[in-house]
Amino acid sequence: MRRSLLRLGASSATHVLPPWPPPSYYNGGSSSKASNFQSTSAFSSNSRWVVVTNSLPPPEWVEPFNDVSDIVSSPQRFDPSPWVAQILNLLDGSPQMEPNLDFYCHKFLIKLSPNFVAYVLKSDDLRGKPETALRFFSWAGKQKKYHHKLECYVSLIELLCLCGDLDRIRCVVVELKNMNFLMNSNAANCLIKSFGCLGMVEELLWVWRGMKENGIEPSLYTYNFLVNGLVNSMFIESAERVFEVMEGGKIVPDIVTYNTMIKGYCKAGKTQKAMEKFWDMEGRNVEADKITYMTLMQGCYSEGDFDSCLSLYQEMREKGIEIPSHAYSLVINGLCKGGKCMVGYAVFEDMIEKGCKANVANYTALIDSYAKCGCIEEAMKLFKRMKSDGLEPDGVTYGVIVNGLCKSGRLEKAMEYFQFCQNNRMADNAMLYSSLIDGLGKAGRVDEAERVFEQMIEKGCPPDSYCYNALIDALAKCGKTDEALALFKKMEKEGCDQTVYTYTILIDGLFKEHRNEEALKLWDMMIDKGITPTAASFRALSVGLCLSGKVARACKILDDLAPMGVIPETAFEDMINVLCKAGRVKEACKLADGIVDRGREIPGRIRTVLINALRKTGNADLAMKLMHSKIGIGYDRWGSVKKRVKFRILIDI
DNA sequence: GTAGGGTTAG
């Protein structure tokens, strides 16, 4: 039909148009509708009626239709879309043709009616053409003896909804509100669906009120559309309330309502609530389906809760619910990210066994995980298998391979793959370069790392903070601190963000060269820039300070961090550790006493560190005393608090 | 006629 329409539209001039108006129209449409196909053909050829469709028009064609519904429901199932399309082509191509539309309507024997207008607005030809639709709508509205009905607006809004055209919909809604139509259930459902899709809550509630005022009972679909609409616009609590109303009413929530609500909780990051809703289902005799599980798994996955993801998957298996390939991917990725590559691989094999084909992302995730677990051989085997499986590794796969090889010290192999990427004009990105720079730097091949850095600039790939950090680290670790600082300055000049890692590397490097004041200056600069320190960055600072005998200063800086909401959990532990390692047991003990004085407990492992350090430095008595002492709160065997013992070490030294 | 599928890298 589409083909014939194009021919009609494109070459109508070369065809002979029917006499206008057609003879039957002259008869006021009163001639018999029973005209059979033969007679139509005869009539057509006699009157030079050339029809350019592949399917011949039905006998009804020669009759003036009263309405589009006549055509659609005709026994021949006559499809008027070519004619509709031609009208729209005209509108689309030349706005000045508007006045002729009336003529075309007559030509196609279609009477302009609200049903017809609604029909046209629903046609595929208007998909993605809001302008044309609106022009048609407003043209129709201006015609004599024609008035839009509610359904016309509904269709227009549905269409604009598909285009995501919020502003235009709002304009249409303003007009619609002024029309004061009587709401009906079908229109209300459609409107709630449309407004819900776009999260237009105000309009949604306007329809809902309209329904109430007109005594229209919401159906299950209405409720579900409403809940979906509220959820899509993140009105989770409102959705919750509708859900509660349903639970207490005649129309109880079904699987779709539950799934929608679960989706809402997941979207809002309330995974726990989503799980509760899921558990509720059982008691309400609503069976969870694959959508329920998928929604929950997706939610858990994006929260980083891979364990729940896995147990949901296992539950699906136990229940015999069909497992979509995306579910396998989530589970495999989750396991890979959690460092459980073996289990991930088992699921992967399971997936293949169940008939789901593995994809590039599945393989890549597994390769990465194996490489990160130190099983580079296994990773390379998977890489080989992937290729023999007919899958073409992508930029990410090569990124993972190059990084894995670098981290395992197989730099020559990594460079081979890097070269392969370059030759094949793929994945020439900062990620590949940073892996390589880091690998070379860690292997002490700093000159080469620098060359790679230069090379990327020459190739027009600007280094990002990862590349800078990798090279700065390489330089700082081999004592080229000034070069590292020069790069740090260059970073700022080039507009590349200096991160907490950049500062950590440099602070560490400066302390190692006993350039304490410079290191402290960098720390302050970092804080001033609003960069949140990490545990690692504080460790670099505190270790440097402790080893230069400034334990109190480190403690002071730590205290200053607390109001900023930064509390490095292992700060004291790290400091005591480093002091003990350096044989400065007295300072370590003093720090421990200070911690106890603040009313905090010393963890068992730190006590062990202290005990060993005391023994090593010839303070066996003190070590014994510390071993037998109780620090923190003691409990008796009935569980009640027995005593609180504070043991201060230095008093006895 | 309603509900799920931004999956992989430094």
The most confident of the ranges A29-33, A78-82, A202-206, A361-365 is A361-365
In this structure, is the CB of residue A542 within 7 Å of any atom belonging to strand B? no
In this structure, is the CB of residue A337 within 7 Å of any atom belonging to strand B? yes
d(CA A179, CA A416): 71
d(CA A369, CA A342): 9
The two tokens of residue A150 are 């509610």
> Which 3 state secondary structure label does DSSP give A642?
strand
Strand nucleotide closest to residue A293 (CA to C1'): B4
In this structure, is the CB of residue A290 within 7 Å of any atom belonging to strand B? yes
Average pLDDT over residues A394-421: 94
> Which 3 state secondary structure label does DSSP give A502?
helix
**pLDDT for A22 beyond 50:** no
Q: How far is the CA of A364 from the C1' of B8 (A)?
A: 5
Contacts of residue A610, Cβ cutoff 8 Å, sequence gap at least 6 = A576, A580, A585, A588, A589, A592, A602, A626, A649
Q: What is the pLDDT of residues A484-527, one digit of tens each?
A: 999 999 999 999 999 999 999 999 999 999 999 999 999 999 99
Q: From the DSSP assignment, how many helices (H) and strands (E) are in chain A?
A: 36, 2
The pLDDT value given to residue A69: 62
Q: Are the C-beta atoms of residues A441 and A470 closer than 8 Å to each other?
A: yes
Nucleotides of B under 7 A from a protein CB: 1-10
Q: How far is the CA of A230 from the C1' of B2 (A)?
A: 14
Q: Where are the beta strands (DSSP E) in A197-326?
A: none
For strand B, list residues 131-150 of chain A whose Cβ lies within 7 Å of it.
none
> Which 3 state secondary structure label does DSSP give A436?
helix
H helices of A424-550, where? 430-442, 446-458, 465-477, 481-493, 500-512, 516-528, 535-547
In this structure, is the CB of residue A89 within 7 Å of any atom belonging to strand B? no
DSSP-derived secondary structure letter, A639 = S
Average pLDDT over residues A255-263: 97
Among A25-39, A410-424, A540-554, the minimum mean pLDDT is found in: A25-39
Q: Which of A147, A149, A173, A150 is nearest to A161 (CA)?
A: A173
Contacts of residue A116, Cβ cutoff 8 Å, sequence gap at least 6 = A67, A68, A110
In this structure, is the CB of residue A51 within 7 Å of any atom belonging to strand B? no
Q: Are the C-beta atoms of residues A217 and A184 closer than 8 Å to each other?
A: no
Upstream peptide bond of A324 is cis (omega within 30 degrees of 0)? no
d(CA A561, CA A565): 7
Among A90-99, A106-115, A133-142, A368-377, the minimum mean pLDDT is found in: A90-99
Q: How far is the CA of A274 from the C1' of B7 (A)?
A: 21
Task: Give the distance, in angstroms, between the CA of residue A200 and the centroid of all CA atoms in the same chain.
Answer: 22
d(CA A572, CA A136): 74
Residue A223: count of CB within 10 angstroms of its CB: 23
Q: What is the pLDDT of residues A154-187, one digit of tens each?
A: 999 999 988 888 889 999 999 999 999 988 889 9
In this structure, is the CB of residue A383 within 7 Å of any atom belonging to strand B? no
Q: What is the pLDDT of residues A633-651, one digit of tens each?
A: 334 445 454 444 455 665 5
**pLDDT for A16 beyond 60:** no
DSSP-derived secondary structure letter, A285 = T
For strand B, list residues 460-479 of chain A whose Cβ lies within 7 Å of it.
464, 466-467
Q: Which of A596, A576, A573, A595 is nearest to A586 (CA)?
A: A576
Task: Give the distance, in angstroms, between the CA of residue A269 and the centroid of all CA atoms in the same chain.
Answer: 12
The two tokens of residue A640 are 């009640």
- Per-residue 3-state assignment (H helix, E strand, C coil) for A38-90: HHHHHHHHHCCCCCCCCCCCCHHHHCCCCCHHHHHCCCCCCCCHHHHHHHHHH
Q: How far is the CA of A281 from the C1' of B3 (A)?
A: 15
Strand nucleotide closest to residue A225 (CA to C1'): B2
- CA angle, residues A533, A537, A540, in degrees to nearest 5: 150
**pLDDT for A383 beyond 70:** yes
Strand nucleotide closest to residue A295 (CA to C1'): B4
What's chain A's average pLDDT? 82
The pLDDT value given to residue A596: 75
The most confident of the ranges A129-133, A154-158, A421-425 is A154-158
Could you write out the DSSP letters of every residue in A213-236?
A: HTTPPP-HHHHHHHHHHHHHTT-H
Q: Which of A354, A379, A376 is nearest to A365 (CA)?
A: A379
Q: What is the pLDDT of residues A200-210, one digit of tens each?
A: 889 988 999 98
Q: How far is the CA of A231 from the C1' of B9 (A)?
A: 34
